[in-house]
A and B are shown apart, each in its own frame.
Chain A
């Protein structure tokens, strides 16, 4: 079954703890993304990666970190420095170049609640 897999779907953490959200894809896509979705604010880009071992900050990268050691994987760590971490997180991937670039394939999301 091809696509984007995010885990866990639901996660509860205590304030001050770091948490890592997993994102795996088997679509052979070069580019991967992390977005945060909050009510009334749409999707805001946290980090994106266009190729293995490279990534760029999005619009709201503070308090988050990522790695891209493998093409298939793009984990997101929500650190204790993120002031408002409770949110719905979406991972996506896309072909990097050509007419099909810009079409993002999304995961089902991970809902993080910090208590």
Chain B
């Protein structure tokens, strides 16, 4: 069975410092991985997906199949990055999306 683990429930980082939100997964096939974000009083929305290999709002995430990880990184945190972040894995061949338990990121001014 597929599983997504986000080991940190809470993470506080000073403004301007680097951010890393951890995500590990277990899956027997070739995974598709995503990061979703929920800002205060907004809907949950897609931040980025690994196949796009793009940077969104300064965030990047690299799929490491050897370590089964998909950590989300940003070199310099901004106050507007404060939000709830979820890592998610898509089942190959169908549309089932499994989410982790989420990490609440707080940027300290």
Interface residues of B (CB under 8 A from A): 6, 9, 32, 34, 36, 43-46, 49, 51, 86, 88, 90, 94-102
Contacts and interface: CB of A to CB of B under 8 A. Distances in A.
Contacts of A106: 43-45
A105 B46 CA distance: 8
A40 B101 contact: yes
Interface string A6-50: 000000000000000000000000010101000011111100101
A41 B34 CA distance: 18
A68 interface: no
Contacts of A92: 44
A42 B96 contact: no
B99 A35 contact: yes
